[in-house]
Copies of this chain bind each other. A is one copy, B any other.
Amino acid sequence: MNIFQYPSQPEWAALQQRAAQQQAQDVEQRVQQIFEDVRLRGDAALLDYARQFDGADLAGGLRVGPEELAAAAAQVPAELQTAIRQAHANILRFHKAQVPVEERVETMPGVTCWRRAVPVQRVGLYIPGGSAPLFSTLLMLGVPARLAGCPEIVLCTPPQKDGLVNPIILFTAQLLGITIIVKAGGAQAVAALSGGTDSVPAVDKIFGPGNRYVTAAKQLATRYGVAIDMPAGPSEVLVIADESATPAFVAADLLSQAEHGPDSQVILLSDSLSMLEQTKAEVERQLRELPRAEVAAQALTESRAILLRTPEEMLYFSNQYAPEHLILAVKNPEQLAEGVTNAGSVFLGHLTPEAVGDYASGTNHTLPTNGYARNYSGVSLDSFLKKITFQRLTPEGLLSVGPVVETMAEAEGLRAHARAVTLRLEALAGGKE
């Protein structure tokens, strides 16, 4: 962890730089091939990839059957089941507060307009396998998908070597009421979701994290008219810590970010040099106790501890950087939080580690990375809804707004638009309709 003392503003840009996302061309090409293969051969291609990449023989089929699903819960420790149920309840409670209210607005007498939230009809949730089953991400995507009322929810996740899906994933899916579960991972899963195969329904929108193949595949899917949750990049945290912070807590938060992957981004800002130095020492001490110490250590080589002068300056730096996670380990976090303009999710005070938001406080952990907090929101109920506008005019409404439309349409040179109103106004005047 490198400490930078009072860098000048021109030096900030370099400190705010993220590691370049080299989207290797060979990744893109490989993903394109996989897409073509899945479009051409469908399920047969998915079965081959499962053998090749997951070492799994899926002769029993690509979909999780009712028996496999039913057998899952017994394999999940009771304590973990309880924890997942509690997290589910909290996430549900927070997302329920986002349910939009349909309100009719009479903009002029007889001109009534409204918006209705309609679920995206077919959504795909991608949950990676890899080192650990990310059941927490399944909660984060499944809760709003179900709450939105999406009629078709397709879960794709890679099989284990034994051809089964991790039981914790299945237990969580059952809790969510998700029944279409496909044993497919990687770019091939995204390809299947975007084009459809015999076993995998095509969807309108794809959600979920993944390695660079999955990321490239999601990007490619957008060219087929499929929407995605958001552009992806490595996870990141920025911590603002003042003298009131506890170095051991701050260090633990930085490490919990660093253990995600060697490309995780970690930034610490403080107006106290001793805070930076103590935290650095704590990071080194705690690092040794971690099973994923190697990963975290690699991420920390690129981490930055920066000494700035005032809370305002730290906030300004943070808003420019636009972190995915922002921890305000300061004495008056509510006050500082008022000034946050660019961030994915914000954690206030000394007792709110990022980890609680990653799992169970209720907020969503699928958040914009790579500076996209400037222009994207994290996943929420909205991500699974479209807002369709409706309008209806009474005769009085047409009489009041019609002339406005005629005038504007003529000024834009769109005569037929004006005529669509004029014809109706004439009919009204003539007593017809």
Are A407 and B80 touching (Cβ within 8 A)?
yes
Chain B binder among A26-34, A272-280, A411-419:
A411-419
Does A205 contact B375, Cβ atoms closer than 8 Å? yes
Report A245 CB to chain B, min CB distance, Å. Answer: 10
Please tell me if the beta carbons of A227 and B389 are within 8 angstroms of each other in the complex: no
Minimum Cβ distance to chain B for residue A123 (Å) = 9
A292 in complex: contacting residue of B93, B94, B416, CB < 8 Å: B416
A90 at the interface (CB under 8 A from B): yes
Chain A residues numbered 79-111 whose CB sits less than 8 Å from any CB in chain B? 79-80, 82-84, 86-87, 89-91, 93-94, 97-98, 103, 105, 107-108, 111
Interface flag for A349 (CB, 8 Å): yes
Q: Are B390 and A345 within 8 A (Cβ)?
A: yes
This chain: copies in complex: 2
* Cβ A416 vs Cβ B378 within 8 A: no
Stretch at the interface among A184-192, A301-309, A351-359: A351-359
A113 within 8 A of B: yes
| B contact residues around A433 at 8 Å (CB) | 246, 350-351
| Chain B: minimal CB distance from A28 (Å) | 13
A180 CB–B CB distance under 8 Å: no
Asked whether A397 is an interface residue with its Cβ less than 8 Å from the other chain, the reply is yes
Q: Which of A3-45 contact B (CB under 8 A)?
A: none
Chain A residues 231 to 289 lying within 8 A of chain B, measured CB to CB, are 231, 246, 248-249, 252-253, 255-256, 258-260, 286, 289
Residues of chain B within 8 A of A395, CB atoms compared: 351
Tell me if A416 and B259 are in contact (CB < 8 A): yes
Give which listed residue, B91, B107, B382, contacts A94 with CB less than 8 A.
Answer: B107
Return chain B residues, CB-CB under 8 Å to A70.
none
Q: How far is the CB of A355 from chain B (nearest CB, A)?
A: 4
Is there contact, CB below 8 Å, between B356 and A111? yes
Interface residues in A392-433 (C-beta closer than 8 Å to B): 392-395, 397-398, 401-405, 407-409, 411-421, 423-424, 427-428, 432-433
- State which of B108, B256, B334, B361 has its C-beta within 8 Å of the C-beta of A420: B256
Are the C-beta atoms of B348 and A391 separated by less than 8 Å? yes
- Residue numbers in B under 8 Å from A93 (CB-CB): 105, 107
A131 to chain B: closest residue by CB: B413
Q: Does A132 contact B (CB under 8 A)?
A: yes
Contact assessment for A401 and B360 in the assembled complex, using a CB-CB cutoff below 8 Å: yes
The answer to whether A409 touches B355 (Cβ under 8 A) is yes
Q: Is the CB of A375 within 8 A of B246?
A: no
Q: Is the CB of A132 within 8 A of B414?
A: yes
CB–CB B204/A404 < 8 A: no
Q: A387 touches which one: B358, B380, B388 (CB < 8 A)?
A: B380
- In the bound complex, residues from chain B placing their C-beta under 8 Å from that of A132 are 411-414
B353→A424 contact, CB < 8 A = yes
Nearest residue, chain B, Cβ from A400: B86
Task: Please give, as numbers and ranges, the residues of chain B lying within 8 Å of A391 by CB-CB distance.
Answer: 345-348, 352, 356-357, 361-363
- In the complex, whether A386 has a CB less than 8 A from a CB of chain B is yes
Known: A252-B420, A377-B387. A87 touches B227 (CB 8 A): no
Q: Indicate if the CB atoms of B350 and A388 lie closer than 8 Å.
A: no
A104-153 interface (Cβ within 8 A of B): 105, 107-108, 111, 113, 115, 118-121, 131-136
* Interface: A220 (CB within 8 A): no
CB distance from A147 to the nearest CB of B (A): 14
- In angstroms, Cα B87 to Cα A290, docked, is 62
Tell me if A318 counts as interface (CB < 8 A to partner B).
no
Top 10 nearest A-B pairs (CB, nearest first) are A107-B362, A227-B375, A353-B420, A252-B420, A132-B413, A348-B392, A83-B407, A90-B107, A256-B416, A355-B417
Supplied contacts A259-B416, A343-B388, 20 more A-B pairs, CB within 8 Å: A79-B407, A84-B408, A97-B103, A111-B362, A131-B413, A132-B414, A135-B412, A248-B423, A249-B427, A256-B420, A259-B417, A290-B415, A337-B390, A344-B388, A344-B389, A347-B390, A352-B391, A359-B404, A375-B386, A377-B386
